[in-house]
Structure 1
C-alpha cells in the first residue's frame, strides 16, 4: 500500500484570504454557513482525485473533527487523522480502538493539561476561549503568544506536555501527541509499502521525517530519518499543486 499523508491548511488547501494570489481556476473545498473558507486549484484537485485511484490519501491535521469535516473532497476519505493525530476517522467515523489507545498514551499528561488551563485563565493576554480540543489538547489565542508560551512553560512539566505557538494561537499538547507518532501508528496499522508526505509548518516536521518522500515549504532544513525531502519555498497555491503533480510523476515511473 502506498500512502500520501498530508497536512491540509497552507499545504494542500489555502484560505479565502489567499485566493487573490491565485490566477488559476479554483474549487471551494470548505464552507461554513455558506461562507467559502478554503480552496484548491482545479489542477491540484483533479490531480489528487486521480492519485486516489492508485494510492491512499490520508489528511493529517491539527484541526478538530468538526473543523476537518467541513472540508469536502471529491469522495469520502477512507482514513483521516485529526486532532494532531490523536483521532483516526475511518470513512468519517471515529475509530474507537485508535481513540482508546490515544487516551492511554496521553493519560499521564492530563494533570499538566489541567494545570495549563488554570494558568491560561490567569493570563490577561488571552483573547479567546480556552478549548480542550476533542478532549485531547488545549487551544487558545493570546495577544502576546510568545510571552504566554514562555510563562506557562516555566510552570509546566515539559516531560509531560509541550507548548507551541502559531501566530496568535497557543497549543498545549500531550508530549507524545504529534503527527510523526500518528503516522507511525498508521503505518503499523496499514502495513504501508511507501509513504509520501507534505507539510508547511513545524507541526508537520515529525511526520515528514517518518516518510520515504517528503515535501516541505517551511524555512528551516529538515534532517530526515530515512527518506528524501524536497524543500520548496513556494507560496501555498503553488506548493500544493506542485506536490500532487510530483507525486503523480513518482507513481507513474
Structure 2
C-alpha cells in the first residue's frame, strides 16, 4: 500500500481559536491556563485513527514553544516542522542537522532583522516585536487597521519576504519556507504521495510542492498547482481536510 504523507498547517487548518469555538469542540491548546485552541470532535477522531499508510506531519509557522502548547490526538504524529520550516522535531527532539542548515539562511539576514527589531520595538501600535527561534522576525499589531500601515512602510523590503496574516506580520528569510521544508522532507519519502493542506499565503510554497493540495476557496486563484481540492463551504475547513485525506486513501 502506497504511503501518503500529509503536511498540514495548524492554525485555521486543523485547529481554530477560542473565538470560533462551537459546541462539542475539543480544547487542544492552553495559554496561561486559558483555553486557546480547539479542534472539532470529528477531526480529533479521524486523526486518532489514521490508516497505517498515512503519516501526518504538522508544518507550522509557530515557534517551537507555541507548537508545544498544542496537544494533538495521541499518536497521530511523530514528526513536526515548526518556525516556517526551519526546525524539524522528531519524537519530541529537534533535529540539529536540519536546524543548523536552515539557520545559515537566517544568519545571513540577522543583522537586518536585528535592525528592524530595534526600530520597531516600543512602537505603541505593536503588541509584539520578536525574533522567533533565531529564524525570523514577527510583529503583532494592536489593531487590525495598523497592518496596512506597516505593510506600506516595510512590505517593499527586498531581502526579506514580508507577509501579513491577520494582525500579524512575518519578516521571513526567502530561503526559509514551508515549501523548501516539504521538498526536503519528501526527499526521504521515495514513492510516497504527498498531500499538503493550508489556509494562507504563507502556505503557498508548501501547497505548490505537493502532489495534491487542500485549500479554502480564497487561495484558489493564487495557487498554480492544478492538483487541488477546494473547500467552498461555510462549515469546518479542518473537517474538509480530513475527509479529503481519507478519500485519497481510498483511491
Structures share fold, TM-score greater than 0.5: yes
- SS of the equivalent of 1:204 reads helix
Whole-angstrom distance in 2 between the partners of 1:233 and 1:118: 42
- In structure 2, the residue matched to 1:186 is 185
- In structure 2, the residue matched to 1:127 is 126
- In structure 1, the residue matched to 2:137 is 138
- In structure 1, the residue matched to 2:166 is 167
Q: How many residues align?
A: 244
Shift of residue 184, structure 1, vs aligned partner: 0.8
Whole-angstrom distance in 1 between the partners of 2:104 and 2:191: 24
Shift of residue 135, structure 1, vs aligned partner: 0.9
* Conserved? CA contact 1:130–1:138, under 8 Å: yes
User: Given the superposition, is the C-alpha separation of residues 180 and 113 from structure 1 closer, same or farther in structure 2, using an over 3 Å criterion?
Assistant: same
Shift of residue 151, structure 1, vs aligned partner: 1.3
* Conserved? CA contact 2:59–2:81, under 8 Å: yes
Does 2:8 align with 1:12? no
- SS of the equivalent of 2:74 reads coil
- SS of the equivalent of 1:109 reads helix
* Conserved? CA contact 2:229–2:244, under 8 Å: no
Moved more, 201-210 or 42-51: 42-51
Shift of residue 176, structure 1, vs aligned partner: 1.4
- In structure 1, the residue matched to 2:54 is 55
* Conserved? CA contact 1:3–1:56, under 8 Å: yes
Cα-Cα RMSD: 2.0
Whole-angstrom distance in 1 between the partners of 2:108 and 2:48: 40
- SS of the equivalent of 2:236 reads helix
* Conserved? CA contact 1:27–1:39, under 8 Å: yes
User: Given the superposition, is the C-alpha separation of residues 218 and 112 from structure 1 closer, same or farther in structure 2, using an over 3 Å criterion?
Assistant: farther
Shift of residue 130, structure 1, vs aligned partner: 1.3
* Conserved? CA contact 1:125–1:148, under 8 Å: no
C-alpha offsets along residues 75-108 of structure 1, whole Å, 9 cap, x if unaligned? 2531101111111111111110100110123332
Shift of residue 169, structure 1, vs aligned partner: 1.3
Whole-angstrom distance in 2 between the partners of 1:140 and 1:70: 20
Aligned equivalent of 2:236, options 203, 221, 238: 238
Whole-angstrom distance in 1 between the partners of 2:152 and 2:102: 27
Shift of residue 218, structure 1, vs aligned partner: 4.7
User: Given the superposition, is the C-alpha separation of residues 87 and 120 from structure 1 closer, same or farther in structure 2, using an over 3 Å criterion?
Assistant: same
TM-score calculated relative to the size of structure 1: 0.88
Q: Spell out the pairing of 1:27-38 with structure 2 (5 A cutoff).
A: 27-38=26-37
- SS of the equivalent of 2:187 reads helix
TM-score calculated relative to the size of structure 2: 0.89
Q: Spell out the pairing of 1:81-100 with structure 2 (5 A cutoff).
A: 81-100=81-100
